Chain A
Amino acid sequence: MGVPIFSVRDLRFTYRKSRVAAVKGIDFDVVEGEIFGLLGPSGAGKSTTQKILTRLFKTYEGTIEYFGKDLKAYGNAFYEDIGVGFELPVHFSKLTGLENMRFFSELYKKRADIETLLDAVGLLEDKDRPVADYSKGMKMRLNFVRALLNEPRVLFLDEVTNGLDPGNARIIKDLIKDFRARGGTAFLTTHLMNDVEELCDRVAFIREGEIVETASPRELKIKHGRRELRVETFENGETKMHVFPLEGLGENKDFLALLKTASIETMHSGETSLDEIFIKVTGVAGDVR
């Protein structure tokens, strides 16, 4: 593995006025150049973890190192380095998209070209409309532009494709891949398995504040996946499902017998989807799109 950008050890956090911890002693590294996904069901602690890493919450226990130095030792210059995409829209609704971006952009030393970014997410034509008139998906795309204003080294994205139609989700995902191709590192939280499968180099599953597994999507599939054949037959007036392992299928007596005798309706080979792995690992149903 490459250079760890963030090293998180035994991180714990409890909201004030809350009796249970939202994050209960988690460990992980985010490595330079990778897209790291924090994946888990609603309420698992994903946004909380992101807010701790972006220093919005400072009262955590455990240690976080950013480039080998305690995160708490950094001043506000830390924010020159990172870009944050929030879960919800973060704009002055009476200002236009462009006015919003200009205002935030001026606060950084490094400044990406705003119109190029707006164009990339398909908002250039709407740049002079007040954000109040934007649709939810447009606001989320503007959030993404907001996160890229300072040409960050590390990008934090909380549910970045939430509320986007498939076309726009595609655009954003491609932009995230471009970001990685230019050497950027991304920390992504999501409960959408499609995003993970397509984008993440590594994922950590978080469940009730604890990380239950860290691996690459491929490793997960190999570990939890089963290669199998599902056959649906029609017998005695009802549809029945039969499942056979792909290994040794040609010698599988039950399968061969079924082929000869049954009336087959459908036949599919399949590997376990990440959705099934999500449910298996976290014990909760994820969202499918």
Chain B
Amino acid sequence: MSDNLLKLLKGELKRLMKYNILQISFAVALLWIAVIFLIGREQATTFVPLFIFMDAALMTVLYVGANLFYEKQENTLKTLLITPSGYVAVLASKIIAAVYLALQSSVIISLAAFFLFDVQLDFLALYSAVVLIAFAHAALGFSFAIVSRDFNGLIAAVGLYMIFLAFPSIFFAFGLIPERFEAVMLLSPTHASMMLIDASFGKTVALWTVLVSTAYLAALAAGLLLFFIGPKYRENAVRE
């Protein structure tokens, strides 16, 4: 099983390159850096966390969801089910690939932030946060793809997710939503993600917020995988 996980992962990473996703993700990270140059480096402390969040959370949802749809269309999900690997290893390989993608972006952006814009940050805390955020959002991406009928349905689901959960937390970050709503905001996975990223950039985030956010994201990912994606994955992959 672990042997096949490595081979599946190798395949995933190879396809990330073949399908130019790795390259595009790299280019997007460079683009964010260019944007910060344009906005002005004094704004970097505000925007660097935001861009890292966008890559780790929103890009991951989109990538995982689109990947699932694409492979369903190509029937490769189905043919992987009739190999000795088992679907758990297939799911794991896809999640690890998505986390890797998010980590690559955050490393590029954070190094630029540190060396070019003098932004202070705790690298270890940031990368741990990115792993957790990407993991949770990969689970969300799988879930959205499973409930959507087609690719447009997926885009709609991600759109709704952004409007109801992501934008409020971005508004919150800019102070457009009053502080007293913070506890409610934490119910949003994006807000929990933002808090963890903010904390790694040394912004004042209460310890309980960090703990609750971490537990919430981990529980969300585990819950979705165990109770929704796990039971539905096979049926979804086989459905034509």
Contact = CB atoms under 8 A, between A and B. Distances in A.
A94 B240 CA distance: 21
Contacts of B8: 107
B79 A86 contact: yes
Interface in A65-79: 76-79
A107 B85 contact: yes
Interface string A57-98: 110000000000000000011111010101011111111000
Contacts of A224: none
Contacts of A79: 82-84
A104 B14 CA distance: 13
Given A90-B74, A90-B76, A93-B74, A77 B84 contact: yes
A124 B70 CA distance: 27
Interface string B1-44: 10010011001001100110000000000000000000000000
Q: Give the one of B81, B82, B83, B86 with max A CB within 10 A.
A: B82
Contacts of A108: 83-84
Nearest to B87: A76
Nearest to A79: B84
A78 to B, nearest CB: 8
B15 A90 contact: no
A90 B11 contact: no
Contacts of B235: 16
Contacts of A84: 79, 82
B238 A104 contact: no
A54 interface: yes
Nearest to B81: A56
Q: Give the one of B1, B83, B86 with max A CB within 10 A.
A: B83
The size class of the interface chain B forms with chain A is 20 to 34
Contacts, number: 65
A12 interface: no
The size class of the interface chain A forms with chain B is 20 to 34
Contacts of B86: 76
A133 interface: no
A22 B222 CA distance: 35
Contact of B76 (A76, A77, A91, A107): A91
B203 interface: no
A95 B86 CA distance: 22
Nearest to A146: B79
A92 B18 CA distance: 10
A260 to B, nearest CB: 62
Given A107-B8, A107-B84, A107-B85, A95 B15 contact: yes
B94 interface: no
Contacts of A146: 79
A93 B15 CA distance: 11
A215 B79 CA distance: 31
B128 interface: no
A76 B85 contact: yes
A39 to B, nearest CB: 21
Contacts of B84: 76-80, 107-109
Given A107-B4, A107-B8, A90 B79 contact: yes
B120 interface: no
Interface string B151-188: 00000000000000000000000000000000000000
A106 interface: yes
A42 to B, nearest CB: 14
A187 B234 CA distance: 23
A230 interface: no
16 contacts: A56-B82, A57-B238, A58-B234, A76-B85, A78-B84, A79-B84, A84-B79, A84-B82, A88-B240, A91-B74, A93-B74, A103-B7, A104-B83, A107-B4, A108-B84, A109-B84
Interface of A: 16, 51, 54-58, 76-80, 82, 84, 86, 88-95, 103-104, 106-109, 146
Given A76-B86, A77-B84, A103-B14, 7 more contacts: A56-B234, A58-B234, A78-B84, A88-B240, A94-B18, A103-B11, A108-B83
Interface of B: 1, 4, 7-8, 11, 14-15, 18-19, 74-76, 78-79, 81-86, 234-235, 238, 240
